Amino acid sequence: MAKQLHMSTTGYANYERGEAKIHFQRLKQIADVLGMSVVDLVSFGEKNSVFCLVGENTINNAVSVIGSSESTELAHEVSKLQLQLSHSQEINQRQQQEISQLKEMIELLKK
């Protein structure tokens, strides 16, 4: 699995042991490798429940939502929102890095 995800076996083992945060995008990659949806992956073995990732997008912060047909619709909506949130966080992180670099450039110009 680690090889298919282009990561070290130690890194993947940390996910399996719950010792590392697993972000939604990585869950999506794992689900793709296994040929299943993220919803199916995180609710594997659970009957009539869907797990919605919250907070830092870690498995340890999962919340169970009970339901039937509505759960599938809810899960798809949550997946879309999680992808949007992940994308927004990536953009924010890049902007913060750019701000930091610009501040460094300003300081260098002041000298």
Is residue 24 one of the residues assigned to a domain? yes
Per-residue pLDDT of the chain (111 residues; tens, 9 = 90+): 889 889 999 988 888 888 888 888 888 888 889 888 887 777 766 555 444 444 444 444 444 444 444 556 777 777 778 888 888 888 999 999 999 999 999 999 998
Q: How high is the pLDDT of residue 15?
A: 82
| pLDDT given for residue 81 in this prediction | 83
The total domain count for the chain is 1
Q: Is residue 49 part of a domain?
A: yes
Whether 3 maps to a domain, the answer reads no
Distance CA 89, CA 87 (A): 5
Question: In angstroms, what CA-CA distances link 31 with 4, 5, 45, 46, 88?
Answer: 12, 11, 15, 16, 22
Number of H helices, E strands in the chain: 4, 2
What is the structure's pLDDT at 80?
Answer: 79
Residue 60 located in a structural domain: yes
Does residue 2 lie in a domain region?
no
Coil, helix or strand for 62?
coil
Q: What domain range is 61 assigned to?
A: 9-110
Tokens of 109: 């110009």
